[in-house]
Amino acid sequence: MNCVTQKIIKDIFQWDVDNWSKVLDHWKKYLPNDVSNFKVLEIGARNGGLSLLFSILGVKEILCTDVSIDYLIEAKKLHSSYNLKNIFYEELDALNINYQNYFDIITFKSVVGGVSSNNRQELKTLFFANIHKALKEGGWLFFCENLEASAIHKFFRKNFTKWGKNWNYIKYTEINKLIKEFSFCDISTYGFFGCFGRSEKQRNYLAKLDNLITCFIPRKFRYILSCVARK
């Protein structure tokens, strides 16, 4: 990922960049050396940051999707600013993916809690089953998600985040069950204080604090999950 500059990293993650961008070091351990013929699906893209990432890495074709095509306006603007030609856009229901054994890579960021909102736990299982079906044999899943984290995180989300009461955060203890159909997975977690910053400057400062203390924080209390899985 040497071609991924700091500007690109900011455009990929956009919020709490210093903490969330740590997932790239995790992912690059498993990203195949030659992805030039790969087809990639980004689910729940919104701003299209991960489509930008894989386009810069040189994949053949990227399908950038969300539940409504109207949600992809900012993604199209971002990709246009880089003059990217290998990204296509489609409306797609993450719980009913109409592809089978098609993609070499599927990727997403902060989607599971939305598709399974209001504690609809069964939809988490359905979501990952759809991904597994849509991947080619040997295909890769690269994703990062908000974890349930600690009681402090749960309190602040419930009381100070407008979607916090409905968002169904992944628990660290349930991820292995959700991806049990995959032949391989590797998980890493990051961050504790970073998400409490009210501005990106504050979040960057708190991310530096996280760099010092995260190793002392139990994995289940951290708030960023990075996962690489293979079908």
The pLDDT value recorded for residue 165 is 84
- Report the first-to-last Cα separation within the chain, whole angstroms: 23
The domain spans of the chain are: 30-190+219-230
> CB-based burial of residue 146 (10 Å sphere; 0-12 exposed, 13-18 middle, 19+ buried)?
buried
Contact 95, 82 (CB under 8 A): no
Q: In what order do the strands lie in the sheet with 61-66?
A: 87-91, 61-66, 39-43, 103-109, 135-146, 224-230, 184-190
The pLDDT value recorded for residue 119 is 93
The pLDDT value recorded for residue 2 is 77
Domain 30-190+219-230 has CATH 3.20.20.140: no
The pLDDT value recorded for residue 62 is 98
Mean pLDDT by 10 residues, the chain (231 residues): 92 97 97 96 97 97 97 97 97 96 98 96 97 98 97 93 88 95 97 96 97 95 98 98
- In sign, the C-alpha dihedral spanning 201, 202, 203, 207 is positive
